[in-house]
Structures are given as structure tokens and as C-alpha cells.
Amino acid sequence: MKTRFAGPVLAALCLLPFPARSLDEPRKVVDYDIRVRLDPEKRAFTGTETLLWTNPSQDTVQELLFHLYWNAFRNNRSTFFRESGGQLRGDRADEERGWGFIDVTSMTWDGQDLRPGFRFVSPDDGNPDDRTVLSVSLPRPVGPGETVRLEIGWEAKAPRVFARAGYVRDFYMVGQWYPKIGVYEPAGRRGRAAGGWNCHQYHANSEFYADFGDYRVEIDVPERFVVGSAGALVAERKEGGRKLLRYEQKGIHDFAWTADPRYVVKEDTFEPSRDVPKEELARAARLLGRSEADLTAGMKPVKLLFYMQPDHVDQWTRYADAQKWALAWFGLFAFPYPYAQVSCVDPPEDGIGAGGMEYQTLYTAGTWKGLAKWPLRGIRTQEMVVVHEFGHGYWMGLVASNEFEESWMDEGINSFTEYEMMTRRYRYFLELPFGAGFSPLDLPARGFIPSSPDYDPILAASWKYWGGGSYAKNSYARAGLAVEQVRRLVGEERFWKGFRAYAERWRYDHPTSRDFFDAIALHAPSPWLADLVARTWYGTGFVDYRVLRAASTKVPERTGYDDARKAVNFTEEGTSTKGDAAAKEKGKADGRKDRGKGPWDTVVVVGRDGDVVLPVDVVLTFENGKTWRTTWDGRSKWLRLKTTYGSKLARVDVDPEQRVVLDRDSMNNSRFLPAHDGPSAAAKVRTYGVHLVQILLSTLWTLV
């Protein structure tokens, strides 16, 4: 294992000069001007788009590749459908009337028809029935830095929503909906040796990757519809029972919108001077070594729009509180939000397949009526989904990692920031009576991770995990916990300096996993880091520390021969009691009266299952209340501790502060000696009950 992974990982973590260059604004590669008309009777969309694409490389490009995402729902032979089996995140496709598609009806360049050069390709799996990637052969190559202007016509039918986009009743979530050009990566980007297209098929477990540009979108819908959209509304007019709305947004790489006549729109504003908590500002300044004025200098007011279902309106303030907190936190620990607005879409409960999805300047949340009432009010699903989906706007959106090939860089880093934000703001994900509850880390660490085998590394292309469960575990929970483990390993201040340096340096610039590791290693070097990365990101390693043995035996009276070879018994004080029956009886009585008197020989053995090696504390607590703590480097498979002490051992705890969040079973980290008043049967039942609840809640957690 070590031989296999240490080389590339150590290379990734070498302390080379970390590039200081960062982008103040994205490189503009694309420009979209889209016009779309919705026919709700047919569930149909008719659109045209003018696309300007600039060749970002020094290559001559002979073909263009386009994503046609809605063809994933064209039939049951698409790669998406074959991989998903027609279900995703707990929702199922309607195979009778729920199909959708997108067809490019025209495409011209300088008036020349490009349709004769159309062919569908399947670069990932060779599926001849997949229609999600369109190759367009050009009549002449596009030179380095040259811009082409394409006029494109298309028709589409929305699928019944079960996977992000589609309709239910009069609700429409319109994402991945237009012919979208892939990414031509020049040599050197993301480690490429030579330039080439990065345009993957739409997989059940994959999400997205695109170039930045400017969008102007005109949406034509029946007048009764309320429309929410990425970007800012710049014009609106009504005619013939319909309305046309024009939205614009610069510096994004995707555009989504929604329509529903039932929406109730709520509006608020993020005001930095009011909504950045003073204590969090002070904490960030201390951890990052920056002034408070410097940290807030780039923060600006942000318009907040919430498109609520009528039966969820009473929950919009919970969305709003989480949204303001997320804007404040990301502004401090990553960089200030650069756009003027953000929209939160609340889908209907029978359209929850559209929920929990991120786009730029717009995301979908999700709730249900029961979460506003006791006893479910204490479940913070609403807050969790807001900070999570808005967080994608940073890692998928602004930093713009490749979700197809390195899904953990969005989902995993975002899960980590979700845990941090939820803990800092709300403390518990699930609040229980009497001040108790489950923390955001409890769910993945104590439920999801222990119940899942490790067949894949964290770092893998999203469609190459053995199944959807492995993708979810490794891209979300395991990756998020691994980042949290790095934080605990290298220390708060050094970690956050490296974390913010990564975010600022790679804003708008499509980083790789190595870029993240380099940023952390430069600001927070650690002898443990390379091995942890090798065994978790590049390997399938796990760790489970446990108590293998714990025993205290009273040091016996000395028997045998003294130095003169005389057979004797010795008391603790060395007084012979041979033949003194009264003394023996008195000793027994004294032992019953105070059996805690020693000395006692104590032996403890702790072990490590798995091949992830992390330092861990071991604490021995004795009956007199005294403790003995030692740190084990964990490099051997087991450690034996021996001591002779005047009090009997009461309990042993491995990692009592639970700093090893990757430990797959913390329930075997402690042991009470049988003679000590350890946990009762009822307490054990409660403990295992808590564990069961955590597993059940973690299942909910993976679906939202």
C-alpha cells in the first residue's frame, strides 16, 4: 500500500513555492444569448441561442463537443438510465409518461449549416445508445484565440422530475436545459500534457464542469407563472397572455431557472455590517492573521430571493437565517461573494427530486410541512440544505473544480464546510430535549461511515465508483471527514490559512486535488499528512482504534524463597505472616474494607484495525480519580501499557476527545473494568439506540 501511493502523494505535498497569482475575474471563454419559450400543455421548450466560443489554447480545433443533458431521459438505454435504474436520491422516474429529450434542430457558423457534421459520441463508456454528448465536425479548424459565432436552434421536452431537472404539475425546474459547449482544456490546465476536450457523458453520479462566460437569457412563459432565475432581471414585458423576462449575469458557467404559478416570493438582504457576527469575525481575524477590516473589505450587500411553496411559507425565515450565515462565513474563510443576488428555490414535496441542487446565483433547497411543527422542529434540514447548496456556489461555482473527474473537490470540501457552518451557528443538526442533540459530525462519522465498506478511494471519476452508495460515501461523507481530519491533524490556525489561500488562489481557475493538498501542505506542513492523503484519497484505507485488553490485578503477597532460601510469605510491608492465622484473617478483612488499596499491576492493550495511521491519546482512569495520559503514534498494530500503581484501573479511553473523526467505530474506544461500576444494561441499550438513530438520520442526510 505504502509503496503504491506514497510516490505521487509525496510529490503532491512537496513544499514547492505556492503560486501567488489569483484571478480577480474569470477568463471569459463563452458568451450565451438564449431565448426560450415554454409550452406547459406539451411540457415543451423551444429555444435559440447565439454562442460565442473562444479557443483558449494554442491548438487548432477541428470539432466542437456539446452537452445535451436532457437526452439522459430520452429512453431507458441512456448511460444515465442504465446506471441509475431510473431512480436517484430516493426518487423514481415515471417510465410511462416521464421521458424527456433535447434535439438540436439547427446550427450554423457564418451561415454554413453544421448539421452534416453531427454525430453522437460516448467518450466514457462507448454506449451507442447514449445521446448526451454531440460532436460537431467543423468545415475548417478554429485557430488559437479565435472566436466562433454559432447560431443554434433546439427543441426539448422536460422529463417528469426525479433527477434535478423537470416538472411536476405546474412546477418546472429548468437546469442543464440548453445545448452547452464542453470545455476545451489547453495543455497545462489541470495537469494536461496536451490540449483536448473535456466533455463527459451525463452519468447517474456525475455533475458538471464548464468554462466561465456571460449569459443573457430571455424566458417566455404564460403570464400566470412566477419565474425565478439565475442572474438579475433587467427587463419584463407582457403581451398576449404571456410575459417575457430578460435576465443577465456576467462571470458564471451555468444558468438555471424555475417557474411555478404557486410561488410566494419572499425578499431579504444580506447586509455585511449587520449580518456578519462579531464573534465570528474576531475568530476569523485571529485564525487567519488578518485584520477585521481586511476581511470585510470586499463584502457587499446581496439581494436574497426565496421562491416558496405556499404550504412552506412559514419556514422561509429559517432559509434566510442560514443564507445570511453562509454568506458571512464564506466571506470570512474563503472570499467575499462576488454577485449581487442569490435565489433559493423551494420545490413542492412531490417534486423533491429537484431539491438539494446547486447552480450559480441560484440553488434549490427542500423541506416539508412537518418540519415546521413539534416534534420535528428540532431537525435542521432547512438550514443544512441551504448552507450545503449555497456552498456549492463556491466550490463547484466560483472555484470551479471538475465534478465529473474529482467529485470530492466539490462535494467533499463542501460537506466539510457544511459541518463547520452548522456546528458554529446551530451546534446541533438534531436538537433533543434538555439541551442534548446530534452534532452535524455525528451523522456521517457515527452512522454512515461505520456502516459502509471501503471498496473505493475518495479520489475517482464520479462514474467509476462501484456504485451509487460508494460515490455518495466517498465524495461526500468520507471526503468531508477526511478534510476535517486534516484540520485536527495540523491545527486550527495553520489549516485555515491554507484553506483560505486555496480558495483565493484558485477562484475562477479550475483546480485539481493536488492544488488543494499543496495549499494545505505549504501553510500547515505535517509529517502525517502525506500518509493520510495516500491512504484515504488515493487508497481505501480506514482506521478503527479499540481497547483490546484492560486488567488490574492486586500485587500478591510475596511467596516463594527469600534471599536465604527460606520459604516465606510477605505482606506489602515485608512482614512475614507465615503461620499467623489471626494476621491472615485481619488482612482479608482489611482487603474487603478497602479493596482499592494497592499496589495493583495494570495492563492495557490497545489496537488499530485498518491501515490509516494517526496519533491518538490513550487515557487510563483509576478508582481514586487519578488519570494517566499518553500519546500513541499508532504506527504499530497494537500498544501494551503496563504500570504498578496504588489504585485499581477503572476505565480506559482511546481518543477521549474524539479527534480521530475517521475512526469507524468509536463505541469500542472505551472499556470499564468489570469490578467497576461501568455502564448498566440500560445504558448499553441507550448507547446502541443512539447509534441506530444516527444511522437512520444519516440515511436522511444522504438524501437531502
Whether pLDDT at 180 is above 50? yes
Same domain, 423 and 457: yes
Structural domains in the chain (count)? 5
Between 492-506 and 513-523, two packed helices, what is the crossing angle to 10 degrees?
140
pLDDT > 70 in the chain, percent = 84
Whether pLDDT at 698 is above 60? no
Whether pLDDT at 260 is above 90? yes
Domain boundary among 185, 211, 237: 211
Residue 378 pLDDT level (bands cut at 50, 70, 90) = confident
Between CA 563 and CA 567 the distance in angstroms is: 10
Residue 659 pLDDT level (bands cut at 50, 70, 90) = very high
* Residue 238 maps to a domain: no
Same domain, 47 and 151: yes
Domain CATH number, residue 418: 1.10.390.10
Residue 432: CB partners within 8 Å, gap ≥ 6? 378, 438
Which residue segment(s) compose the domain that 332 sits in? 257-391
Same domain, 43 and 178: yes
Between 381-392 and 316-333, two packed helices, what is the crossing angle to 10 degrees?
40
Same domain, 422 and 378: no
Domain boundary among 211, 233, 265: 211
Sort 472 into a burial class: Cβ within 10 Å, 0-12 / 13-18 / 19+.
Answer: buried
Domain CATH number, residue 609: 2.60.40
Q: Count Cβ atoms below 10 Å from residue 100 Cβ, excluding itself.
A: 24
Residue 373 pLDDT level (bands cut at 50, 70, 90) = confident
Whether pLDDT at 682 is above 90? no
Same domain, 379 and 419: no
Host H or E run for residue 141: strand 133-142
Residue 453 pLDDT level (bands cut at 50, 70, 90) = low
* Residue 298 maps to a domain: yes
Rg (alpha carbons) of the chain, rounded to whole number = 31
Same domain, 196 and 313: no
Same domain, 66 and 94: yes
Whether pLDDT at 583 is above 80? no
Q: What does the pLDDT read at residue 15?
A: 39
Same domain, 269 and 355: yes
Between CA 673 and CA 603 the distance in angstroms is: 12
Between CA 228 and CA 264 the distance in angstroms is: 11
The DSSP secondary-structure symbol of 309 reads -
Whether pLDDT at 283 is above 80? yes
* Residue 223 maps to a domain: no
Q: What does the pLDDT read at residue 684?
A: 47
* Residue 458 maps to a domain: yes
Whether pLDDT at 35 is above 80? yes
Same domain, 6 and 89: no
Whether pLDDT at 701 is above 90? no
Q: % helix / strand / coil in the chain, to the nearest 5? A: 30, 30, 35
* Residue 419 maps to a domain: yes
Question: What would the mean pLDDT of 162-169 be, rounded to a whole number?
Answer: 92
Same domain, 520 and 490: yes
Residue 448 pLDDT level (bands cut at 50, 70, 90) = low
pLDDT tens digit string along 469-511? 899 999 999 999 999 999 999 999 999 999 999 999 999 999 9
Q: What does the pLDDT read at residue 618?
A: 98
Question: What would the mean pLDDT of 379-391 be, rounded to a whole number?
Answer: 95
* Residue 451 maps to a domain: yes
Residue 232 pLDDT level (bands cut at 50, 70, 90) = very high
Same domain, 630 and 620: yes
Between CA 382 and CA 367 the distance in angstroms is: 6
pLDDT tens digit string along 398-428? 999 999 999 999 999 999 999 999 999 998 8
* Residue 275 maps to a domain: yes
Instruction: Say if strands 341-345 and 362-364 run parallel, antiparallel, or are unpaired.
Output: parallel
Question: What would the mean pLDDT of 575-585 be, rounded to a whole number?
Answer: 37
Residue 685 pLDDT level (bands cut at 50, 70, 90) = very low
* Residue 21 maps to a domain: no
Question: What would the mean pLDDT of 198-216 be, rounded to a whole number?
Answer: 96
pLDDT tens digit string along 589-620? 333 444 557 799 999 999 999 999 999 999 99
Helix (H, G, I), strand (E, B) or coil at 62: strand
CA 438 to chain centre: 18
Residue 444 pLDDT level (bands cut at 50, 70, 90) = confident
Mean pLDDT, rounded, of the chain: 88
Same domain, 76 and 142: yes
Whether pLDDT at 77 is above 80? yes
Q: What does the pLDDT read at residue 224?
A: 98
Host H or E run for residue 489: helix 478-490
Domain boundary among 366, 391, 416: 391
Q: What does the pLDDT read at residue 16?
A: 40
Between CA 476 and CA 473 the distance in angstroms is: 6
C-alpha triplet 304, 310, 313: angle, nearest 5°: 50
Whether pLDDT at 379 is above 90? no
**The whole model's pTM is what?**
0.88
Q: Is the pLDDT higher at 556 or at 199?
A: 199
Helix (H, G, I), strand (E, B) or coil at 676: coil
